[in-house]
Homo-oligomer: A and B are copies of this chain.
Amino acid sequence: MKTAILSVGTELLFGQITNTNTVYLSRQLNMLGFDVMYHYTVGDNPKRVAEMIELAFEDCDMVLTTGGLGPTQDDLTKEVACKVLDDELVMMDDVLQEIVGYFKKVRREMTENNKKQAIMPSRAKVFHNDAGTAPGFALEKKGKYIVCMPGPPREMKRMFEKSVLPFLKEMSGSAIYYRMIRTFGIGESKLETVLMELIDGQTDPTLATYAKEGESCLRIASKRESLEEAKDAVNEMLEKVKDIIGEYIYSCDDEELAQVVCRKLLENKITISSAESCTGGMFAAALTDFPGISGSFQRGLVTYSNEAKMDELGVKKETLEKHGAVSEETALEMVEGLKKVSESDICISVTGIAGPEGGTEEKPVGLAYIGFIFGEKKFCKKVLMRNVNRKWNRNYTLLSMLDIINKELG
């Protein structure tokens, strides 16, 4: 089914906020097998909203709108929907009761104009708003659909997941299943190349690659008559994908690499400490972003200066002078020193050149050494990145550290 997404809100035209609703809805609709043909944004202006919907209906069968349902402008999209699809607004008692209940729950007084939010197109299928007061709805006439949701992303997403998604799935008359596969260490174009045969030869399941900063993702999606069939098709394809790129996959369920590492650490009751130079605390910050990680993460030493490396970790002055702060020798002495002071099960160190300055021909910007100790195992891994910029280099170094831990934890 051909669809258009219409965002209503003058604040979008002012550039005050980024339109994240549209990218979210586009992704969801594509996964459901709906074709997204247009994105439109207009201000809080009923005439323009109506014009846009009528324009969309020239070659689309469904328009999803966000915004224009708030307490001050709650009639805007509702009236427009009635006008375009030939319906009239009526007070819906059950919707009114829900709104009254919401105000009771959050212990706020309900003003008179909030009652207006219970006025709905008479034929509307109403969608409850879990996170606010304005309900959403779907209205149909002769195979043309208008689906209206509130503008605040939190309200819109909750309503979409709980109510709109089941409605659309039912409409599409088929079941969709997908998995998002996350990889590290292989670029998006390489990923596409090695999977080309699977990507090109398939109509269902479909495979699509996405680039993220330093990572590549792969979505495997299937649309079948039953959910079981779709699941089987996706999982069968996943096995084929694993045969080709298994070594790069760190999650088949769209988890972040740091999340996967934290989960494994906690599940296996393994303690960890870090000693960072070029990433300057990013590793510790990434791990401590995870609630409950105090059960595993013990300490992180950001030894940015040479003095700190010597003081805190016992790196030898001669090592720094002879091999430099960015060297395999320094990385190993850092991690050995960390093991002595922390006694954590896993110790990891990193030293590198994040740039933009500080590179030489022998040791260019984008070079890093990662020291690692876990039980009897001890090694140093050299990472040489294509030098994009300081931010990218630091993030890629962080991912490389997480990747080592993830692989060693098996």
How many copies of this protein are present in the complex?
2
Q: Is A20 an interface residue (CB 8 A)?
A: yes
B280 touches A285 (CB 8 A): yes
A281 touches B285 (CB 8 A): yes
Question: Which residues from B are CB-within-8-Å of A208?
Answer: 14, 16
A18 to B24, CA, bound (A): 9
Contact of A42 among B18, B38, B301, B312 (CB under 8 A): B38
Picked from B12, B292, B294, the residue with its CB within 8 Å of the CB of A26 is B12
CB contact list, A4-30 vs B, under 8 A:
7, 12-20, 22-30
Return chain B residues, CB-CB under 8 Å to A210.
16
B394 touches A289 (CB 8 A): yes
What bracket does the count of chain A residues touching chain B fall in?
Answer: 35 or more
Query: Can you spell out 27 A-B residue pairs with CB atoms less than 8 angstroms apart?
Result: A14-B27, A15-B25, A15-B36, A16-B208, A17-B23, A19-B23, A19-B39, A37-B42, A38-B40, A38-B48, A39-B40, A276-B281, A276-B284, A280-B300, A281-B281, A281-B300, A282-B288, A284-B285, A288-B304, A288-B394, A289-B390, A291-B390, A292-B357, A298-B308, A299-B312, A301-B312, A311-B341
Q: Could you tell me which A residues sit within 8 Å of B by CB distance?
A: 7, 12-20, 22-30, 36-43, 48, 55, 208, 210, 274, 276, 278-285, 287-289, 291-292, 294, 297-305, 307-308, 311-312, 341-342, 355-357, 390-391, 394
